[in-house]
A and B are shown apart, each in its own frame.
Chain A
Amino acid sequence: DTEVTQTPKHLVMGMTNKKSLKCEQHMGHRAMYWYKQKAKKPPELMFVYSYEKLSINESVPSRFSPECPNSSLLNLHLHALQPEDSALYLCASSQGKRASGYTFGSGTRLTVV
């Protein structure tokens, strides 16, 4: 079992809905990440939180809003998404600031209708 837990595993939402993706880790990692992965493509970085502060935003549209309530939790708030935002959303964590040896969650498969 992965040590990074993501909920829900699947989500279908309309373009006017507001939903949130959740991620939790209890490994004491201080960096947490959101990635987006389209079918047959590698993961693409969206956001990085380091010591609970947003350190990287890869020019992600404002309809995606990250939040890090504490060192173990990471949320991704979704609003007014487009069908092209349908993808696998992956959360990951790593020890310290160095991007070595990420641990990924199993992901949330999001479908926007």
Chain B
Amino acid sequence: QKEVEQDPGPLSVPEGAIVSLNCTYSNSAFQYFMWYRQYSRKGPELLMYTYSSGNKEDGRFTAQVDKSSKYISLFIRDSQPSDSATYLCAMSEKGAQKLVFGQGTRLTINP
């Protein structure tokens, strides 16, 4: 079993839809949770960073962490074609230098 599981998709939705991306994990020591967006042939770009459980909102993006269920989510509201990319969840233990990534979900927003 992988430490972090993420459905690779692909996921295709119409413009304006609400998108829900999810990851599950098995390591209860993970304390830091991140979502990265990666466009084709580019490096990953940090979108959201959350410590421990709870919600965090930034514009059209909302990140949720449920440590009791070992489940994290990223919601994108009013999705735009420019949101088409691969979304990677990542997490780390407290004090660790290594990020553990999910497989990434390929998302396409259709105009």
From residue 60 to 113 of chain A, which have CB atoms closer than 8 A to chain B? 88, 90, 92, 97-107, 109
Contact yes or no, A43 B32, CB < 8 A: no
Contact yes or no, B103 A102, CB < 8 A: no
Report the number of A-B residue pairs with Cβ-Cβ less than 8 Å.
71
Contact yes or no, B42 A99, CB < 8 A: no
Q: A48-B97, A98-B95, A99-B32 are contacts. A42–B43 as well, Cβ < 8 Å?
A: no
CB distance from A112 to the nearest CB of B (A): 18
With a cutoff of 8 Å between Cβ atoms, the chain A residues found around residue B46 in the complex are 101-104
With a cutoff of 8 Å between Cβ atoms, the chain A residues found around residue B88 in the complex are 42-43
B residues near A, CB below 8 A?
8, 32, 34, 36, 41-46, 49, 51, 88, 92, 94-99, 101-104, 106
